[in-house]
Amino acid sequence: MHIAEGFLPHPWWEIWFALSLPVVAYGIWKIKKAVRLEPGIKPTLALAGAFAFVLSAMKIPSVTGSCSHPTGTGFGAILFGPSITAVLGFIVLLFQALLLAHGGITTLGANTFSMGIVDPVIAFIVYKACTKSGMNFYSSVFLASFLGDIATYVTTSFQLALAFPAAVGGVFASFKLFFAIFAVTQLPLAAIEGIVTAGLFKYLKQIRPDILTKLRVEGSPQVTESPHVAGDAQ
């Protein structure tokens, strides 16, 4: 979910920038480290960024000042971990703001925090927990992508509630209102994202299983003990 340009008042847009930029900076360092260890991951990084760009560009108008859409960042989180995906999310959101008037520059920090940070963190944690519990690989991918998308929607609702608390009930009342309105479009979109992401992983496992093996994706065929950097926890 994107918050539109100029919709967040001072000081909220600055606060979300301050929270997001250190994570993006750390992610840039992680990318440099990963590329040094395995230069061949560059095309896969590009694929993850392109996937997020295409899915998150499919917007549906929602509450004034925002829109609903899939995020696509769960795919990158499973492959590379949250911090690297934060960089991909930041780049995707920047290009969408400049080229598609989707989101905005002043709201880039807030949108990066919800879609590029919270979403990948939740997706990564859910995926790891599911695979360690023995859940089917594709079910794990679906659930991770689905809940990551939902986390974005919850975070955006909270960001808007903080900026625009209700006259009666304050932030909590405003959050409930945004949460309820967004649910109409975001829940089915999250399910669609989970299905599409699982389908993309199935396609990769069929035609390029070596990519998942090199990145040490749990559930990939013949995972080796190679030193390649994949997720933040590895």
Q: How many structural domains is the chain composed of? A: 1
Tens digit of pLDDT at every position of the chain (234 positions): 678 788 899 999 999 999 999 999 999 999 999 999 888 899 999 999 999 999 988 776 555 555 678 899 999 999 999 999 999 999 999 999 998 888 899 999 999 999 999 999 999 999 999 999 999 999 999 999 999 999 999 999 999 999 999 999 999 999 998 888 878 788 889 999 999 999 999 999 999 888 888 787 876 554 333 333 445 544
- Whether residue 224 lies inside any domain: the answer is no
- Whether residue 222 lies inside any domain: the answer is no
- Whether residue 14 lies inside any domain: the answer is yes
CA distance 213 to 191: 27
Angle between helices 137-163 and 12-37 (to 10 degrees): 150
CATH of the domain at 151: 1.10.1760.20
Decide: 33 and 153 in contact? Cβ < 8 Å: no
- Whether residue 170 lies inside any domain: the answer is yes
- Whether residue 180 lies inside any domain: the answer is yes
State the pTM of this model. Answer: 0.88
Decide: 56 and 66 in contact? Cβ < 8 Å: no
- Whether residue 49 lies inside any domain: the answer is yes
Containing domain of residue 58, as a range? Answer: 2-214
CB atoms within 10 A of CB 38: 17
- Whether residue 228 lies inside any domain: the answer is no
